[in-house]
Each structure stands twice: as structure tokens, then as C-alpha cells.
Amino acid sequence: MDPMVILSSVEESAAGALKKAGATAKDILGVGITNHRESTVVWDKRTGKPLYDCVLWHDARTMETSNALKQKLGGQDALRSISGLPISSYFSGVKLRWLIDNVPDVRSGFERGTALFGTVDTWLAWNLTGGAGANPRHITDVTNASRTMMMNLESTEWSSEAVDALGLGLTTGGLPEIISSAEAMGIVSNGGALHGVALTSMLGDQQSAMVGQRCFSVGDAKTTYGSGAFLLMNAGTKPARSTHGLLSTALYKFGSWGPTHYAMEGAIASCAVGINWFRDNLKMLKEAPEISHLASQVETTDGLFFVPAFGGLLAPHWRDDARATLVGLSLAHDRRHVSRAVLEGIAFQVKEVVDAMAADTGTRLSTMRVDGGVSQSDPLLQYQADLLGVQVQRPANVETTALGAGIGAGLGAGLWNSLEDLSTSGGEIERSYTPSISEAAREEQCAAWSKAVKASMGWGHTQ
């Protein structure tokens, strides 16, 4: 994706929001950024021009780079003790290494000291606070930095050991400053709709959703169903290390003086991404929400399973070589069964992450809070409740990622002095979903799903 398009979309969105609210920049106390966390941009600090397209979080071109690093460093978990992350094509450090190895302009830019690296929050902040020819802020917050594989999770500083291990030593001068998630970060000075407004917060999208859901206590958890699906649990002020395929990540740090809070996370690569593939590539749907209508027309998939591993499987399997797989297909199946299998495939993957989280923490969830655009699918959330065996709760406002960005901006601007000052309104439950199948039926379905997952592995190119 063209980073300039990302930048212009932010400007258009800001102008549209102000117009809809009947407000101007002078009415805004602070603005927050929330973003896809691992997507990677490299640009020339002299001109402000990107040196390559933004390499998106689910881009699988970096798989060979990931495999080579695993082999060189001694396995998938070689950097987990530093970064909390396994080596995977998913994370920014691998994407940056791929760019250096495959894009001559990127390599030469870092060699000359003219290239800058950043996730999307960094790219936006640099441009919003002046860009080329000014004195912009080259910054990222702890939540986004924790997704690069280059940050020491405990110190929240760049790790020279991890940077060198990834073969990224020449990028050191082009890495952004790591700051908190809510503080005075600069003034928007790009001449656009938000000119003159203080930039006061940056949060990765999934951490922002946790803030929007007000998951501020240890053990609070939510699942966001967006482009991918992401389950996070608040782990407190010390990193929680996983032995069951989950991630340790920064959750938030409010104020430069505040403690860093951490989360345990399970990331699933395909949610809306997979649904949109059936709409756009197979033309099976006219609009994405139609999948829920079709799925609700059949009581079961009649033995059909869909594993949405388009670019591999993330948590808890971490198999870059897996590919999307439809198994159990017969002449009796039609697009209604496929639609249900697609939604059930999302729910099965979340179930795997919940089980891994329970194995790591020794605690099982009592309820599941959800959000994100795909959480508006009633059939999906019923399947999720059935597979988890717990109640699933959907708030009236499912766009909690945006809400979290607003809360972060208010904290950074001093609107609230602490989390205790926040209003408890905004988290009202719109609908709850209660399990409707037996434990025996649940175990039978999950056993069949495990067979489908195994069938999806080994199809991607590896070396």
C-alpha cells in the first residue's frame, strides 16, 4: 500500500469528522493515532518520500526471510526472551530485513543515514508534526515498538542484541524514539484540517481496543474481530511469558512517568480478510454482511471446515507454511454451508487461543467481551459462545479501537489525570450470546477442527 495514500486518508477522515461535528481544529484538545501495528514504512527524511510501499502486517512475502532467520538463530523462539515474540513474517523486524535485502533504495538509504523506519503511527506522526524540511517528531509508542521484535519488552528500549540478530545494525540511526502511549508528542503543523492541534496519544489498534473496552484490571480480556481477530488479556505491570504459542506485548503506558502495562495476546491473521476474499475473488457475496444471512440458513456445515490460513497460521501454531484449506466438501454442500464454515473457522481459531491462554495462566474466562466490525455478525458470536462454553458480550459501540484512541488522546492532553477519572459510560452491553451446545458436542467439533488444521500445513514454500 502506498504510504502517501494512508497519509491522505487520515487528512480526509479528519476533515470529514470535523465537518460532521460542526467543529474546527481550535475546538480539539488533543488527537490520538491508532494503527495496524506491524505494517512497515521506510522513507527518505530529506524529501519525505517513501522508499517503497508500506509492507502490511499480513504480507507473506517475508516468509523466506523469516525462515532464514529461524535457521540462523536457532529456532522460532530465539528472540522471545528479549521481545516476547516468535520469529515470524508477521512482525516489523522481519519486514524491515526483507526490505533491506530486496529493495536497493532502502538499503542505500540506511547506509547513507537518510532513511527512516517506522510503523504507521511513526509515519503519520512524522508527517503530521511537520515532515520534511521542518523539525518533525520521529517517535513510536511502546505498544507499536513491542511489535517490531527489536524492543526489549522489560526495558521498553531498543535492544541492540535483537537488532543485530535480525541483521538490522545499519538501521540503528533510523529507528524512532520510543515514548509512552499518552503524553505531549508535538503539534500538528502540516497545514491540514488538524493544523495547530496537539498530538497526545499513539496506541496500536488492538491495545487501543483494550483501552476502549476499559480492560484496565489484570485478567480483563477482549476479542476484536476486524481484518484479523485478536484476543488480549491484561497481564499487569510485568511481562507474562507464554509457553503455549501466545505473544507477550506492551498494553499501554500512560505518561512518561507511568508504568508499562502488559498483555498476553493471541493473533489470528484472517477474519474480515478472509470474508472479503470470498466476496471479491470468488464473487460468492455481494456485500460482506451477506455471509451471516447465508450461514444462518443451515443448522450445521454438514462436516465442512474452512481454515483461513491465507498467509499462514499465527497463534498458537505459528506456521508460515500453512495455507487456506476447505475440507470435507461434498456435492451436497452449497454457499450456505461454506458461509457457515468461514464464520466457524474464525470462531474455532479464537477457541484455540483461549485454550492456550488458559493453559498459560491457569485461569479460564468467565465471559468474553468482543468488538470490531465483524462482531456485528450474530451467527459468528453464537458459534463463538458455543465453542467457548461461556457467554459472549457485544457492546452497543463495537468501534472500541477508535474509542480507545480518544481516551488516550484525552489522557495525554490532561483531560483526565488518571484512569479512575474516566466515565464508566460507553461500555453498555447491546447483546449477550449464551452457549447452546453440550460439552460433548463441543469436544467433537474441536477434534474435527484439529484434523482440518493439520491438513492446512505444509503447502507454503519453505526452505
Could you write out the DSSP letters of every residue in 79-145? THHHHS----TTSHHHHHHHHHHH-HHHHHHHHHT-EEEEEHHHHHHHHHTT-TTS----EEEHHHH
Which residues 6+ apart lie within 8 Å of 242 measured at CB?
A: 248, 264, 356, 360
Same domain, 209 and 171: no
The residue among 195, 229, 254 that closes a domain is 195
**Residue in 207, 317, 211, 328 with CA at minimum distance from that of residue 270:** 317
Residues 233 and 345 placed together within one structural domain of the fold: yes
Over residues 385-406, the pLDDT tens digits come to: 999 999 999 999 889 999 999 9
The predicted pLDDT at position 426 comes to 61
Q: Please tell me whether residues 60 and 128 are part of one structural domain.
A: yes
Looking at residue 231, which CATH number applies to its domain? 3.30.420.40
181 and 263 inside one domain? no
Q: How far apart are CA 240 and CA 161, in angstroms?
A: 21
- My answer on whether 348 and 405 are in the same domain is yes
Torsion on CA atoms 452, 301, 290, 12, rounded to nearest 10: -20
179 & 232 share domain: no
Q: Are residues 209 and 233 in the same domain?
A: yes
- Helix and strand numbers (H, E) in the chain are 15, 18
Confirm whether 406 is domain-assigned: yes
Q: CA 50, CA 28: separation in Å to the nearest integer?
A: 29
C-beta of residue 33 within 8 angstroms of C-beta of residue 125? yes
122-159, pLDDT tens digit by residue?
999 999 999 998 999 999 999 999 999 999 999 999 99
200 is a domain residue: no
Tally of domains within the chain: 2
**Letter for the amino acid at 67?**
N
354 and 223 in one domain?
yes
pLDDT by residue (tens digit) across 301-333? 999 999 999 989 999 999 999 999 999 999 999
CA distance 118 to 99: 13
Check pLDDT > 60 for residue 463.
no
From CA 345, how far away is CA 442, in angstroms rounded? 14
Q: Pairing mode, if any, of strands 367-371 and 221-225?
A: parallel
**What span, in angstroms and rounded, lies between the C-alpha atoms of 274 and 374?**
11
Using the 3D structure, point to which of 195, 219, 240 is the last residue of a domain: 195
d(CA 201, CA 102): 33
Residue 72's domain comprises: 3-195
Cα separation, 453 vs 445, whole angstroms: 12
Q: Is residue 218 located within the same domain as residue 189?
A: no
pLDDT, tens only, 77-134 = 999 999 999 999 999 999 999 999 999 999 999 999 999 999 999 999 999 999 998 9
Which residue would you say has higher pLDDT here, 200 or 311?
Answer: 200
Asked whether residue 390 is assigned to any structural domain, the reply reads yes
Instruction: Say what the pLDDT of residue 362 is.
Output: 87
Distance CA 109, CA 213 (A): 41
Cα-flanking dihedrals φ and ψ of residue 3, to 5°?
A: -60, -30
Q: In this structure, is the dihedral angle defined by the CA atoms of residues 176, 182, 185 and 190, taken in order, positive or negative?
A: positive
Domain end position, chosen among 144, 173, 195: 195
- Is residue 73 assigned to a domain? yes
User: Is the same domain home to 347 and 428?
Assistant: yes
Q: Do residues 224 and 404 touch, judged by C-beta distance below 8 A?
A: no
Q: What is the predicted pLDDT for the residue at 245?
A: 94
Q: For residues 160 and 209, state if they share a domain.
A: no
Same domain, 167 and 257: no
Kindly give, in sequence order, each residue whose CB lies less than 8 Å from that of residue 125, ignoring residues fewer than 6 positions away: 33, 136, 137, 138, 139, 140, 185, 186, 199, 202
